[in-house]
């Protein structure tokens, strides 16, 4: 009798509950990113009309960045003493509550001080958002395996992009009612308020799964004086970077290329407004960017299982360099459509691959403090980009540009510097902590 054998197909591995909860926080905070990028600058213009919106908005974001640069490394280092979950939720709640408070300013829009108070609360919201993200990024090592790290990171950005379209669509519908429907002009300010409340509720709801399911598995033993030890460890972290030259050089490269990414995200609507583009169309363009970014981020995650992360990052940074050059010559609306689609194609890839690539370069039990430094490089880069474009915008307003946008010249230059430095970082050997000891004692992950 002839024997027959059946081949059992391997079961496709999905995401664990922890991984799904972590991804859901990207869904949560991406809703705020959309609100801040598309509508908050317009909300500020409604409260305090300005002839040079992009410069005022850019300098406000510089203040946000300076505060975050000082806070993030301190908080990140302290969180490595098994305190990550509590501090993460504290700052997430600060962001959520402040976002909800922003809704109140439409009721006092007639007062001159409304615009100033709005900027103060906006700064608090941004600090809460940025600080919570330090802990969120550093959680990646606790919730997944080495093999799935790039894929999970990419899925976080991907699902954040597409799902944030849901609350944003609601905000957009309300905004359109207040700006385009005849007879409802009085509703414009309240439209911004409703948008802030929708976003705050969405942010809170999708934060709860991570709060419930996250457990910190990699941490340092808590010392008797954790605050004193935090500052002590913060000083020693720079000594570790001297040994881990690959991680250090990557961070410097990251500083330059992520500058352009953050500048484009923060300034998109304000820059388009200064160029004279229709505000509603600008908001729709940002909506399109999110839709394009969803499949493209998933593609980067899929490719990361077959292609080295370094190569994927190289493609993304090179593409952004070309996007920066294109932006300098942006004067027509059709060019703006090309720009938003191009940004959507590579935005998720460059952010996701940077996050997971850096995670693989650092010790698993020190992710909080290392990501505190990571955020210093990311946030302080925004000071440079936003500061330069804002200051140049004062002397060379976009509306008065002819064939070139002089105020946007820093973008391609900084992208190009980041690209060159990343190429140099690739050549550096991966650093192994305790390389002279047994493999079981090694905590350093390396990129194959």
Question: pLDDT by residue (tens digit) across 123-145?
Answer: 999 999 988 888 888 788 888 88
Helices (H), 181-308: 188-205, 208-213, 226-243, 245-274, 279-303
- Looking at per-residue confidence, does 233 or 284 come out higher? 284
Which string of DSSP letters, residue by residue, matches 130-173? HHHHHHHHHTHHHHS-TTTHHHHHHHHHHHHHHHTHHHHHHHHH
Which of these ranges, 124-133, 154-163, 364-373, has the smallest mean pLDDT?
364-373
Contact (Cβ atoms closer than 8 angstroms) between residue 447 and residue 307:
no
Using CA atoms, how far apart are residues 425 and 358, in angstroms rounded to an integer? 12
- Looking at per-residue confidence, does 103 or 381 come out higher? 103
Using CA atoms, how far apart are residues 136 and 26, in angstroms rounded to an integer? 9
Averaged pLDDT for residues 73-85? 69
Output the six-digit token pair for 7: 């081949």
pLDDT at 188: 80
Contact (Cβ atoms closer than 8 angstroms) between residue 143 and residue 155:
no
Contact (Cβ atoms closer than 8 angstroms) between residue 141 and residue 443:
no
Averaged pLDDT for residues 362-375? 71
Q: Highest mean pLDDT range out of 105-119, 177-191, 356-370?
A: 105-119
pTM confidence score: 0.71
pLDDT at 441: 36
Q: Is residue 446 pLDDT above 60, yes or no?
A: no
Contact (Cβ atoms closer than 8 angstroms) between residue 256 and residue 312:
no
Domains of the chain in sequence order: 17-216+228-432 (1.20.1250.20)
Contact (Cβ atoms closer than 8 angstroms) between residue 163 and residue 205:
no
Polymer length of the chain: 448
pLDDT at 399: 58
Q: Highest mean pLDDT range out of 44-58, 138-152, 194-208?
A: 194-208
Q: Is residue 321 pLDDT above 60, yes or no?
A: yes
Please provide the average confidence, as pLDDT, over all residues in the chain. Answer: 79
- Enumerate residues 6+ apart whose C-beta is below 8 A from 371: 76, 134, 135, 137, 138, 358
């Amino acid at each position: 009798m002839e024997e027959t054998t059946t081949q059992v197909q391997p079961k496709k591995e999905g995401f664990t509950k922890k991984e799904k909860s972590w991804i859901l926080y990207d869904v949560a905070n991406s809703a705020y990113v959309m609100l801040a990028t598309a509508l908050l600058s317009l909300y500020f213009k409604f409260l305090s009309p300005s002839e040079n919106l992009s410069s005022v908005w850019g300098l406000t974001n510089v203040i946000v960045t300076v505060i975050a640069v000082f806070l993030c490394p301190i908080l990140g280092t302290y969180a490595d003493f098994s305190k990550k979950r509590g501090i993460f939720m504290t700052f997430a709640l600060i962001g959520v509550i402040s976002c909800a408070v922003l809704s109140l300013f439409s009721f006092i829009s007639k007062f001159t001080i409304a615009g100033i108070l709005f900027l103060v609360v906006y700064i608090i919201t941004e600090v809460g958002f940025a600080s919570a993200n330090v802990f969120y990024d550093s959680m990646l090592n606790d919730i997944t395996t080495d093999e799935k790290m790039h894929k999970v990171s990419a899925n976080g950005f991907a699902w954040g992009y597409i799902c944030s379209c849901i609350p944003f669509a609601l905000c957009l519908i309300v905004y359109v009612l207040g700006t385009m429907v005849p007879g409802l002009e009085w509703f414009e300010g309240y439209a911004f308020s409703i948008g802030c409340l929708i976003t705050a509720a969405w942010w809170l709801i999708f934060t709860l799964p991570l709060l419930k399911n996250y457990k910190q598995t990699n941490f340092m033993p808590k010392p008797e004086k954790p605050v004193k030890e935090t500052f002590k460890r913060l000083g020693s972290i720079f000594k570790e970077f001297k040994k881990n030259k690959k991680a250090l050089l990557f961070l410097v490269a990251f500083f330059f290329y992520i500058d352009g990414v953050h500048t484009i995200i923060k300034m998109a609507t304000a820059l388009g407004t200064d160029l004279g583009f229709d505000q509603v169309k600008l908001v729709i363009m940002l909506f399109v960017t999110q839709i394009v970014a969803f499949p493209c981020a998933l593609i980067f995650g899929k490719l990361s299982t077959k292609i080295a992360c370094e190569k994927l990052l190289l493609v993304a940074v090179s593409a952004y360099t070309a996007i920066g050059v294109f932006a300098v010559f942006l004067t027509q609306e059709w060019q703006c459509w090309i720009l938003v689609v191009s940004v959507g194609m590579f935005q998720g890839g460059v952010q996701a691959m940077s996050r997971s690539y850096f995670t693989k370069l650092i010790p698993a039990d020190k992710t909080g403090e290392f990501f505190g430094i990571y955020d210093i490089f990311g946030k302080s880069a925004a000071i440079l980009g936003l500061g330069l474009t804002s200051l140049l915008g004062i002397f060379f307003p976009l509306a008065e540009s002819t064939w070139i946008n002089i105020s946007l010249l820093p973008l391609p230059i900084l992208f190009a510097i980041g690209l060159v430095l990343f190429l140099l970082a690739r050549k550096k050997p991966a650093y192994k902590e305790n390389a002279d000891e047994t493999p079981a004692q090694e905590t350093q992950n390396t990129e194959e």
